[in-house]
Amino acid sequence: METQIDLLNLIKWRDPHRSWEIDNPLFACHNNFQPQGYASIMDFSVSRRQISITVILVFVLLLAVLVITIFLHRDSEISLITLLPDQPVGYLSVKELGSFVDAFQNSDFGKVARQIPIVDNIQQKAWWQQIRYQKELWEYETGAELDLEVLENYFGRQAILAFYQSKEKLSFLLISDIGAKGLLGVSAIVAAEPINSRYERIKSEHLGVTINTITGYPLDFSYAFIDTVGILSFNESLVEDVIKIHVARQLSFVEQANTDLLGLYDSSKNTGYVKFPGILKNVKIPPIFKTALTPIKTMTFSNQYEEGKLIFNSHFTLSKPIDLVMTTLKIPNGQAFEVEPEQLIVDIENFFPILKLVALANGVQLGNHWKDSLLANLAPLKTLGTMVTQIQFSDQSATAIIKIPLE
């Protein structure tokens, strides 16, 4: 059966002075064409089978577009924090890196933070210069600028940077949900030859997951993918540990920890964990800060943003009571109170003599220049608004909630 499509009955050509019939080869070639003025009919024959095939092809095309769109925008179903191997020295998790950095840089708090003298001091350190050198070397070798936009493409959804003790030094582990777009981008790079002939890619397999190790850089590094999650480390064994947790269901750090780290991770923009004895063992910090941090065993923290304020929530486990410190600083136990930045600086200055005694008991001498340096770093805080604080402490633990104005 054929479908007749009547076109000419819908159209009339009329001259202002006379009516005339159409003389067109297109119509003349039709099998059933017989000149009958403007009432002539042209037939197009289209079979139902052809229509069905066309509809099916259109449907398949739309379905393919939908699937690709969903794939490119899907998030990983894996909670990154559940992939952390046991015994990290510390970690920092960040969600939506771009918005996090923008919120900080554009806030009054961020502007004040950039004025703190210690920031310039850090940039002069050898380890910071080494980081800058490695960044510039990477950009030179790859021909691509390593800026925030690039980082956001790969770490913008969510990422965790963790540190582990490796012999006499710390080794890092980066776990990031790079998303399907990032995965496709990396796959395209991996499919190509190494950028420079002196770099070598070595492939290995662990529990069915491919691990790529790149050699030839100042430090070798390894990476692998689980779903849309990327794993990167200078230590290949850490990459293998993550794979064991996911594939072999080995217990992760979160599953073995007593604190509600998973709950904090799910509800916060960024979270962190620090095991201070491990950090103090590997990182050289000024004696005044080392003395202040000595009583702390672990710290967990999370940040949230509400009504123009940064809400910093932290929990500490202690090796020594801090009652004397709290009493000296006139901090009420468990009660919310307001902190004016200027008054905070005065309280810390008054506390310095006790800090000197604590340092001396630990074999460290603190001269007055340390106090001057500390006060100089706190001075920019005077421009900030009132901070609302609540601290609760006991012999073995302490919690602190600080609301810092960002606007």
* Residue 210: predicted pLDDT: 92
Can you spell out the DSSP letters for 303-329? EEEETTEEEEEEEEEESS--HHHHHHT
Render each residue's pLDDT in the chain as its tens digit; 407 residues.
444 444 334 334 444 444 444 444 444 444 444 444 444 444 545 565 655 555 555 555 555 444 444 444 445 567 889 999 999 999 999 887 667 677 777 777 777 777 888 777 777 777 677 777 767 766 666 555 666 666 666 555 788 989 998 877 788 898 988 765 555 555 544 544 545 666 788 899 999 999 989 887 777 888 898 888 889 888 999 999 999 999 998 899 998 886 688 888 888 888 999 999 888 888 777 787 788 788 899 999 998 877 777 888 999 999 888 887 787 777 888 888 887 888 878 887 887 887 788 778 777 788 888 888 888 888 887 777 777 888 888 888 999 888 887 76
**Confidence (pTM):** 0.70
Cite the DSSP H helix spans in 46-145: 48-73, 97-105, 108-113, 117-123, 126-142
- Reading the block at residue 19, the tokens are 């009516």
Q: What pLDDT score was predicted for residue 56?
A: 56
| Strands annotated E in 167-228 | 169-177, 200-206, 209-215, 221-226
How far apart CA 29 and CA 47 sit, in angstroms, is 20
Which residue is it, tokens 């003349």? 28
What is the 8-class DSSP label of residue 81?
G
Dist CA 27 CA 21 (whole Å)? 12
pLDDT at res. 280? 84
Helix, coil or strand: residue 162 = strand
The Cβ-side half-sphere exposure at 204, using a 13 Å CA radius, reads: 11
**Hey, what are 80's tokens?**
């990154």
Rg (CA), the chain: 33
| Closest listed residue to residue 161, CA positions, set 148, 170, 174 | 174
Distances (CA, A) of 274 to 162, 164, 397: 10, 11, 15
Q: Residue 14's pLDDT is what?
A: 44
User: In Å, how far are 47, 107, 210 from 33, measured between CA atoms?
Assistant: 20, 78, 68
Please give the Cα distance from 133 to 66 (Å, whole number).
Answer: 44
